Amino acid sequence: MDCKHIRNFSIIAHIDHGKSTLADRLLERTGTVEKRQLKEQMLDDMELERQRGITIKARAVRMEYRHAGEVYELNLIDTPGHVDFHYEVSRSLACCEGAVLLVDAFQGVEAQTVANAYAAINLDLAIVPVINKVDLVHARVDDVLLEMEQSLAIDSAEVIKASAKTGVGIDDLLAAIIERIPPPKGDPHAILRALIFDSHYDSYRGAITYVRVIDGTITKGQKIRFLETSTTHDVLELGQFVPQRRACETLSAGQVGYLVCNIKDVKQVHIGDTVTIPGDQAAAPMPGYKPPQRMVYCGLYPSEGENFEELRDALEKLVINDPSFEYAPESSEALGFGFRCGFLGLLHMEIIQQRLEKEADLDLVQTAPNVTYRIKKTTGETIEITNPQDVPDTGQIDEFLQPIVRTNFLVPVEQIGPVMQLCTDRRGVYLKTEYLSPTRAMLTFDLPLAEVIYDLHDRLKSVTRGYGTMDYELIGYFPADLVRLDILVGGKPVDALSIICDRRDADRRGRAIVKKLRGEIDRHMFEIALQAAIGTKVIARETISAMRKNVTAKCYGGDISRKKKLWAKQKEGKKRMKSIGSVDIPQKAFMAVLDTGTDRQ
Amino acid sequence: MGQPRHAYVHVPFCRHRCGYCDFTLVAGRDDLIDRYYAALGRELERVSPEPPATAGSPGLELDTLYLGGGTPSHLGPAGLRRLFGLLHERLHPVAGAEVTVEANPLDVTADFLAAAADCGVTRVSLGGQSLDAMTLRALDRDHAPDDVRRAAGLLLADGFSVSVDLMTAAPGQSLAAVEKDLDAVVGLGPQHVSVYCLTWEKGTSFESQRRKGLLQPAEESLERQMYETAIDRLGTGGYEHYEVSNFAKPGARCRHNEAYWDCRPWEAFGPGAARFDGRTRITNHRATTTWMNKVLVGDDFSGDVDAMTAEDAARERVVVGLRRRDGLDREAFMDASGFTLDALAGNAIASWTDRGLATDDGRRVRLTHAGLLVSDALWADILK
């Protein structure tokens, strides 16, 4: 296939604007998948993706479409929509020459619409704007056109009005993809240069490497070299996704497909690596991708200590298909041996945990998530802190820095006030307000990432009755007056409960945490003091009073079996706890530190 | 284990169901009583298919027989005679046996006492619950304080051994009211007193009212004060505290209940009644009509079956044994269960004694007062 007849594109949209439905419709219209084989969210094959109705991993699919008498190869590279997966979006976009920008005719322009559109514009991609769901009774097409023009300078005349559900406008869209998106440049006869944009692990074939060929041609049986890992492989099979894998003989400049090279160790496949030929003639490496940035860390511990090895195996397996998370062994006095894991965001964290529990059948204790901090020590050394336990003594700290994110909120104008309040409460620095239409505005704040990840999204949804959306990008690390807040249970510090927070918030957070813990920990036969402390200074205290009376009154002939069952239940409950000193702490309590006490008054 | 020498008979009839009660019973269904006798007669055939007279034996020899309910006294004098007529066909309380009948104070009449005496009843457990009119109303009882006084007086005068039940932590009941009840009961002078803290059981009218916020359980610290007051006042009044809820004058412990707590085998008949052979406890179907129907057509009428290994049974023995104030004697435990106490509970006992919840003199382990109060929280250490 010559480049002139190839178009590579992504669909970018805010979550829930109908991206997967549109992809399904394109597959159907191009005859890639017959209607009767079509299942919803065709490209989302992870069970979790379908369950939650979201796309987590990128996908690539080849379609054929006849336009103006000629046959074109259209490669759709699907992308996740959630802010956590920005990283995957930019990877996908780097393989494309154009992007279909999808906007819901009722919801209008939202935070990820803007974020993803800018990502595409910055990569010089041709944008094909589409308003989806125009068949909705509540569609407000004219307003949304205005919003698109205001926020992204999109010419209303270029916007295709479509309904992925009914199929309206799909032919126009396919025509626009071919007419407006440039064909890939690249020379099929030049030296091979291909970009690895994803991979997944197949237990029979080993690593399946997803590539976009930039120059040259890959042929079955040839030898190829991965530049970054400096490894050479035989191409056993290559092909395209239609949407299942379909083998072919060659992949040439401009095409998107997969390689099977009998690679058993997925660590050899680096996303963003350059594929070329072995030897002196090899092409120079391409810039590749920025490594994924883990925003959130938490500890994951097996709730039964003896399952440590199983957890390690499960993490190893998972990281193969999702290199964007990382893990390293750590140990906690309270929780024993486990792993500190880094994620792209909270949703990512939740998904990984669910997959671990589901796919590996592991019962996990998760500690509260925290962001990465940096500390400049008085020695001049700078250290990264992913675990509050690693914060050195105050005397050794010259500067304590935290990540700040620039956050855009797209909200109905009448809710600007509450959103402003929300951000100033979280120590946000106001930057600007832009009106996209008479009814919608974009607010920009710089906020500590720590404040954003915990519950800002939920709070935003609640103050805007679901209509507000947000997106953020890291702008850097800035000094702040931060402290480590320790929690003591029965006088003993519980390492897994420590957090890092702003000094000015310490009182409030401390009080909220010990109060929450009081509700989570059952009464014992003795009084339990719960304290929050900075260094040796106690700033909040709650007491769990001792159990006063707990004795079954009647235990006669017929009662014994029944009572025994009740007592046995208590025992079951006890098993799922972690004992610290002589205090049994339920797993849930380790998330208590998430309680920010944000019902602030 | 040998033949059981103890038997329980459940009489599932009441005039009215009290709001806190979740026992196996039917209220206002006296029309079922005849069927009940028939079914009970059939169930008694488990002891021996042929009437023992024909087999040339007096029946199963018993040291104790206990009629509970429900309200056995609700059967009335004639009913009681008929019931014992049935029981005596196959059960034979030996000379000196303890034969207890539970009674509602309202049912205690001269005729009833005469019938009880004729039937060999030696002990009456009186469902007094309180001697305070307000508490009785709060508990949904159908008798008045004077009925309790009168009944206790009659029973004691006729030479029955009497036990009075008292309840604490009734809705709205104050500590002072409990103190008055205790003093009043001591004044009546029964041989035995049981004090039960009200429990809120699923499916009772009290519990559904609690969920709607119409009734409020007593604070735990008040419950505790009431319980401690009971222990104090009854102790001063000459009653020995011998099990969590039970108090007796010297020599007047309930021998039947002591058999349960000694894990001796016992027989049991009637709906919801549980029997035990030393290893397995079989509870009859709890619904009165289902039990009757199944028994009468010859179907299996057992409900829950708790079949234990020797070790399970020994662990259970630790729990019920430690609920007795005498506690457990290591040697006796070993003889009865085949396990050493320390093999099953050594670590737990050591940790309890460290925390002041138990005492251990090397021979005998007892819960302290502090341990007794929170004993339910200890059993997780014992039961497997």
Integer Cα distance of B279 and A288 in angstroms: 72
Average pLDDT over residues B218-245: 96
B355 Cβ under 8 Å from any chain A Cβ: yes
Considering only CB atoms, which chain B residues are within 8 Å of A557? 8, 260, 266, 268, 273-276
Q: What is the DSSP string of A65-76?
A: EEETTEEEEEEE
Considering only CB atoms, which chain B residues are within 8 Å of A574? 380
Q: How confident is the model at residue A56 (pLDDT cuts 50, 70, 90)?
A: very low
User: Are the Cβ atoms of B373 and A548 closer than 8 angstroms?
Assistant: yes
Of the partner residues B221, B304, B376, the one whose CB lies closest to the CB of residue A550: B376
User: Are the Cβ atoms of B260 and A560 closer than 8 angstroms?
Assistant: yes
CA angle, residues B95, B99, B102, in degrees to nearest 5: 170
Integer Cα distance of A551 and B323 in angstroms: 9
ipTM value: 0.91
Residue A47: its pLDDT value, please?
56
User: Are the Cβ atoms of B376 and A564 closer than 8 angstroms?
Assistant: no
Q: How confident is the model at residue A600 (pLDDT cuts 50, 70, 90)?
A: very low
- Residue A588 tokens, joined: 């849930």
Average pLDDT over residues A510-518: 91
Integer Cα distance of A483 and A388 in angstroms: 9
Considering only CB atoms, which chain A residues are within 8 Å of B245? 553-554
B256: closest CA of chain A, how far (Å): 10
Of the partner residues B244, B272, B323, the one whose CB lies closest to the CB of residue A558: B272
Integer Cα distance of B244 and B372 in angstroms: 7
User: Is the pLDDT confidence value at B284 over 90?
Assistant: yes
pLDDT of A179-227, one tens digit each?
999 999 989 999 999 998 888 888 888 888 999 999 999 999 999 999 9
Query: CB pairs under 8 A, 24+ apart, for B359-365?
Result: B362/B330, B363/B329, B363/B330, B363/B331, B364/B326, B364/B327, B364/B328, B364/B329, B364/B330, B365/B322, B365/B327, B365/B328, B365/B330, B365/B341
Considering only CB atoms, which chain A residues are within 8 Å of B283? 558, 561
Average pLDDT over residues A88-105: 87
Q: Which residues neighbour B295 within 8 Å (Cβ) at sequence distance 6 or greater?
A: B39, B42, B43, B301
Residue B24: its pLDDT value, please?
85
| A111-115, A122-126, A516-520, B179-183, range with the lowest pLDDT | A111-115
Q: What is the mean pLDDT of chain A?
A: 86
B374 Cβ under 8 Å from any chain A Cβ: yes
As a whole-number percent, the residues of chain A with pLDDT over 70 amount to 92
Residue A52: its pLDDT value, please?
52
Contact present, B270 and B291 (Cβ < 8 Å): yes
CB atoms within 10 A of CB B299: 11
In order of A551, A587, B372, the CA distances from A547 in angstroms are: 11, 21, 12
Considering only CB atoms, which chain A residues are within 8 Å of B348? none
A570 Cβ under 8 Å from any chain B Cβ: yes
User: Are the Cβ atoms of B196 and A553 closer than 8 angstroms?
Assistant: yes
- Verify cis geometry, omega within 30 degrees of 0, for the bond prior to A285: no
Considering only CB atoms, which chain A residues are within 8 Å of B380? 567-568, 570-571, 574
B56: closest CA of chain A, how far (Å): 31
Residue A597 buriedness (CB in 10 A; 0-12 / 13-18 / 19+): middle
Of the partner residues B221, B283, B375, the one whose CB lies closest to the CB of residue A551: B375
The radius of gyration computed from the CA coordinates of chain A, to the nearest angstrom, equals 27
Q: What is the mean pLDDT of chain B?
A: 95
Of the partner residues A547, A558, A568, the one whose CB lies closest to the CB of residue B273: A558
User: Are the Cβ atoms of B377 and A554 closer than 8 angstroms?
Assistant: no
* Cα-Cα-Cα-Cα dihedral sign, residues A275, A185, A161, A87: positive
Q: What is the DSSP string of A227-249?
A: TTTTEEEE--EEEEESSSEEEES
Residue A49: its pLDDT value, please?
56
Average pLDDT over residues B41-49: 91
Of the partner residues B273, B319, B380, the one whose CB lies closest to the CB of residue A574: B380
Considering only CB atoms, which chain A residues are within 8 Å of B266? 557
Average pLDDT over residues B96-116: 97
The single-letter DSSP state of residue A370 is: B
Residue A365: its pLDDT value, please?
84
CB atoms within 10 A of CB B343: 10
Residues constituting chain A: 601
Residue B378: its pLDDT value, please?
92
Q: How confident is the model at residue A15 (pLDDT cuts 50, 70, 90)?
A: confident
Average pLDDT over residues B324-330: 97
Q: How confident is the model at residue A267 (pLDDT cuts 50, 70, 90)?
A: confident
User: Are the Cβ atoms of A560 and B320 closer than 8 angstroms?
Assistant: yes
Residue B2: its pLDDT value, please?
80
A551 Cβ under 8 Å from any chain B Cβ: yes
pLDDT of A468-486, one tens digit each?
888 888 899 999 999 999 9
Residue A19: its pLDDT value, please?
85
Pick among B8, B194, B376, B381 to test the A interface (most A CBs inside 10 A): B376
Contact present, B288 and B24 (Cβ < 8 Å): yes
Residues forming CATH 3.20.20.70 domain(s) in chain B: 6-261
User: Are the Cβ atoms of A570 and B377 closer than 8 angstroms?
Assistant: yes
B223 Cβ under 8 Å from any chain A Cβ: yes
Q: How confident is the model at residue A459 (pLDDT cuts 50, 70, 90)?
A: confident
Considering only CB atoms, which chain A residues are within 8 Å of B316? 560, 564
Contact present, B95 and B127 (Cβ < 8 Å): no
| Residue A200 β-bridge partners | A208
Q: What is the DSSP string of B42-64?
A: HHHTTT-SS-HHHHTS--EEEEE
CA angle, residues A252, A127, A65, in degrees to nearest 5: 50
User: Is the pLDDT confidence value at A601 over 70?
Assistant: no
A600: closest CA of chain B, how far (Å): 30
Q: Which residues neighbour B190 within 8 Å (Cβ) at sequence distance 6 or greater?
A: B126, B152, B156, B162, B163, B164
B122: closest CA of chain A, how far (Å): 20
Of the partner residues B227, B274, B320, the one whose CB lies closest to the CB of residue A549: B227
CA closest to B278 among chain A residues: A557
Integer Cα distance of A472 and B41 in angstroms: 80
Tell me whether strands A274-276 and A193-202 are parallel, antiparallel or unpaired: antiparallel
Residue A369: its pLDDT value, please?
86
| Residue B179: half-sphere exposure toward Cβ, Cα within 13 Å | 6
Phi, psi of B58 (to 5 degrees): -75, -5
Q: How confident is the model at residue B120 (pLDDT cuts 50, 70, 90)?
A: very high
User: Is the pLDDT confidence value at A489 over 90?
Assistant: yes
CA closest to A568 among chain B residues: B380
Average pLDDT over residues A37-66: 64
At the topology level, CATH places domain B6-261 in TIM Barrel (3.20.20)
Of the partner residues A547, A560, A571, the one whose CB lies closest to the CB of residue B316: A560
Residue A148: its pLDDT value, please?
93
In order of B171, B200, B230, the CA distances from B222 in angstroms are: 12, 16, 12
Residue A87: its pLDDT value, please?
64
- Residue A100 tokens, joined: 């279909």
Helix (H) or strand (E) holding B260, with range, is: helix B255-261
User: Is the pLDDT confidence value at A1 over 60?
Assistant: yes
| A300-314, B161-175, B283-297, B364-378, range with the lowest pLDDT | A300-314
User: Are the Cβ atoms of A525 and B374 closer than 8 angstroms?
Assistant: yes
